[in-house]
Amino acid sequence: MCEAEQHDHQPPSRRGLLRWGVAAAPAAVGIAALTWPTRATAAKPAAAGSGAYYEAARGDTLRGIATRFLGSEQRWTELYRLNRQVLDKSGEPRPGQRLELPESPDGAATRTFEPLPATAKPLPVPPEGYRLDRIGDAFYAVTAGGTQAAFLVTSAGVVVIDAPPSLAEALPAAIRRVTGRKVTHLVYSHDHSDHTANASAFGDVVRIAHTETAQRIKASQDPGRPMPTVTFDDRYRLDLGDQRLLLSYPGANHEAGNILIHAPRQRAAMMVDLVMPGWAPFRAWGTADSVPGVLRAHDRLARMDLDTYIGGHVHRLGTKEDIKVSREFVRDLWNATGKAIAATDMAPYFGKVEPGNNWAGFELYLQAVADQVEPVIHRKWLGRLGAVDVFTRENALTVALSRIVDAPRDL
């Protein structure tokens, strides 16, 4: 007797459905609508490497299928990735269409992610354990483990830009490889500890930061981030020996105090946690203090005459083209969210919750907006930037809230 015959009167488990690859009907349809496998009609794998499939019924959506079979509606992106070659422009299945389901070797569903495009993949790491890239005649970037710092060698000393704890050994080692001159200055790009909490290791140097960054460092009371000795509000020019750095503040963006660092002689710029070369933004718009400020900073970068860009994270240096592509992405997400807001009436969602529970009503509304934005961004950007499938929904929620409460008129 086959397994289906042994459990003739019991609802099939989710794992059982995945294992057999049966054509399951929507949850509202009774168990009689399920197609059961037999010895003569055992299901065949939907694609190489997977034995799980689902045959769509009328009214099915990828979100609904993900909720029922993968445990979370947010896993609809995995279904989209596995089946996008057969889905039509709507991005939703047609009745009778067979969809592949993600499944681990033991039959337990697992979250999978879109493969990284070539532009987002890690570059080879030399035996030293870090990458050292020379930019122009005297500017250098150090990359290891997805984090970056930089330094400028001058005739009067070395200027270090950021001091990430993860580069505590790599950054000094890289400087020693290039020059025997001492570090005399340190520039804080902003105050976040993943970029600055090893600053104390450079000792008694001139430390430069925006006034906002200084205030945040003071509040953090972190001995690894000693207070700046020089602060500025708008612009600061650092001339040291035969080299120059131009520091400027475009306004709150990734963080209040996050500055643009320009090495004009090397045609290079560094602005941390803003453009991630080859990648979509990190969660919550990169934990942005100002979503509109992130877009404005992209505009500022796009107008600069640059060859090289240092973003502070991921695996490689950026180019003018990377800035252009990142700007296009954030604009697309901003604009798609605006269209979804304009098309979505808020009132019905407040009618679905207990009177007075404004948080719940607003949550339903924001999720409805994100439901519209996510497919638009996925259709255009999957395969162009890394990790588009990871945080796009969360970033759409962040942008939606910003559009409502910040309501900028210049964007």
Q: pLDDT tens, 285-342?
A: 888 999 999 999 999 999 999 999 999 999 999 999 999 999 999 999 999 999 999 9
The token pair at 38 is 């037999």
What is the distance between the alpha carbons of residues 213 and 52, in angstroms, rounded to a whole number? 52
The mean pLDDT value for 344-363 works out to: 95
pLDDT per residue over 401-410, tens digit each?
A: 999 999 999 9
Q: Are strands 183-187 and 230-232 parallel, antiparallel or unpaired?
A: unpaired
pLDDT beyond 50 at 23: no
Query: Residue 368: is its pLDDT beyond 60?
Result: yes
pLDDT of residue 82: 86
What is the mean pLDDT of the segment spanning 339-367? 96
Per-residue model confidence (pLDDT) at position 135: 98
The residue among 48 and 221 whose pLDDT is bigger is 221
The pLDDT value recorded for residue 237 is: 98
pLDDT bracket for residue 96 (50, 70, 90): confident
Dihedrals φ, ψ of 256, to 5°? -65, 125
Give the Cα separation of 212 and 119 in Å (integer).
Answer: 34
| pLDDT at res. 261 | 98
What is the rounded (10 degree) CA torsion for 19, 23, 24, 26? 150
Model confidence at 156, pLDDT cuts 50, 70, 90, reads very high
Higher pLDDT, 96 or 121: 121
- Whether 402 contacts 330, CB under 8 Å: no
Q: What is the pLDDT of residue 110?
A: 61
Instruction: Say if residue 33's pLDDT is above 70.
Output: no
Give residue 125's region: left, alpha or beta (phi > 0; psi -120 to 50): beta
Q: Strand ranges (DSSP E) for 227-362?
A: 230-232, 235-240, 243-248, 260-263, 268-270, 308-310
What's the rounded mean pLDDT across residues 360-379?
94
Residue 65's pLDDT band (cuts 50, 70, 90): confident
Within 85-203, strands assigned E span 98-100, 131-135, 139-144, 147-154, 157-161, 183-187
Mean pLDDT value across residues 194-221: 98
What pLDDT sits at residue 58? 84
Q: Report the mean per-residue pLDDT for the chain.
A: 86
Q: How far from each other are the two terminal CA atoms of the chain, in whole angstroms?
A: 66
For residues 258 and 190, the answer to whether their CB atoms sit within 8 Å is yes
Report which residue type is found at 298: H
Confidence of residue 103 (pLDDT cuts 50, 70, 90): low
| More confident position, 201 or 96 | 201
Q: Is the dihedral of CA 189, 191, 192, 195 positive or negative?
A: positive
| Max CA distance (Å), the chain | 86
Handedness of CA 112, 147, 262, 192 (dihedral sign): positive
Question: In the predicted model, what is the mean pLDDT of residues 25-36?
Answer: 30
Domains of the chain: 3-100 (no CATH), 118-319 (3.60.15.10), 331-405 (no CATH)
- Alpha-carbon distance of 194 to 187, in angstroms, equals 14
- Percent of all residues in the chain with a pLDDT value above 90, rounded to a whole number: 71
- Residue 308 φ then ψ, to 5°: -130, 140
- Band (pLDDT 50/70/90 cuts) for residue 198 is very high
pTM for this predicted structure: 0.78
Q: Is there a contact between 346 and 365 (Cβ–Cβ < 8 Å)?
A: yes
> Do strands 147-154 and 139-144 pair parallel, antiparallel, or not at all (unpaired)?
antiparallel
Structure tokens at 183: 């570090």
Residue 47 pLDDT: 40
Q: Which residues contact 376 (CB under 8 A, 6 or more apart)?
A: 332, 336
Per the CB < 8 A criterion, the answer to whether 325 and 311 are in contact is no
